[in-house]
Amino acid sequence: MAMAQINDDAPAAIVTSDQTQNSPIVIGHRGAAGYLPEHTTEGVVLAHAMQADYIEQDVVLSKDSIPIVFHDLILDDLTNAATVFPDRKRADGHWYVMDFTLHELRKLTVTERRSPSRPWKDKGNRFPLESGNFRIATLAEHLQLIQGLNKTRPNEAGVYAELKSPAEHRAAGLDLAKAVLEVLSQYGYDSADDHIYLQCFDEAEVRRLRKELKTPLLIIQLLNQPADPAKLKSIAEVADGIGVPLNHVVTGKNADDTPQLTELVKNAHAHALQVHVWTFRTDALPEYAGSVSEYLEWLVAAGGVDGIFADQPDVVVEWRIARKQQVNGGNRFRLLNDRDPEKSQADK
């Protein structure tokens, strides 16, 4: 394997690997969102039982600056805030997480998403709307739960936390990054060797995490738009990988039934960046994908991705096990970046 040193602030990483016999990490997307409402503690337990390598936590702050696990800045689509607090909506007609204390947020129930603009909504295979007694949980509670399950179950799951809209938090006088790093440190996540990734779309905040806040944790720069080599080189100054939509890697199918691939993974690996893709859903495969196994084969063996966010993490785990058996065991894909040993000790 070829090794490359990025700079003093970013670790050395694996650049090349025989992807045809290696496995991607499997990340439980918002827990196990294909089976239970997203980011619930019940979803965490299910993702862990399904042997996800990492479990995702989107993080926002309450009014009293407590990191909670919740995807949106607003409460409308996932909770009963409109019923419990009818007079607390803003002028724009929405209920915002950061307008409520943790004590107030505890009064809400969480449901499956109500918004209809999702291709799996009319298939009837997601958790029933307005059903159950799910609650908002804090980041600390999720960390405690995952660490407890790591002790009681044979597999170990890592943490994959996203900082949601840090600029909007700052505008409200809240520092999301500092609050999250403080909680992570309290639970022992303070080294590049720890089983954790941080991710964020805000490029300025990613640089702040590495340069100003000097976190040694592995960082993933999330991207909505395809990145050229110059962009990847800039990202590699501070980040350990990129998180991109599935179609940034596989764009379609050729006439001979082979996948149409971009150069993104090759270019990212050339800059020692991992590539994690989102979001794999068995109930929302691209039209050109003939089956789950075919699509995963294209993403991993042909496309070379290093990690997959999945609403149904068990499906990817089962595919990975089956494929490793087909290639005589293969090798467990080593995804945590290799660091210079002396620098790793200095970071601790």
Could you list the active site residues?
29, 71
252 CB-side CA count, 13 A: 3
Nearest one of 270, 339, 272, 335 to 300, comparing CA atoms: 335
3-state secondary structure of 279: strand
User: How many angstroms separate the CA atoms of 72 and 51, rounded?
Assistant: 26
Contact in structure between 59 and 163 (CB atoms under 8 Å): yes
User: How many angstroms separate the CA atoms of 242 and 161, rounded?
Assistant: 14
Contact in structure between 340 and 7 (CB atoms under 8 Å): no
What is the separation of C-alpha 247 from the centre of its chain, rounded to a whole number of angstroms? Answer: 17
User: How many angstroms separate the CA atoms of 56 and 199, rounded?
Assistant: 10
In the chain, the N- to C-terminal Cα span, in Å, equals 26
41 CB-side CA count, 13 A: 19
Residue 292 CB contacts under 8 Å (≥ 6 apart), including other chains: 282, 285, 315, 319
Spell out a b/e string for 253-290, using b for 16 or more CB atoms within 10 Å of the CB, else e.
beeeeebebeebbebbbbbbbbbbbbbbbbeebeebbe
Torsion sign (Cα): 335, 39, 29, 221 = negative
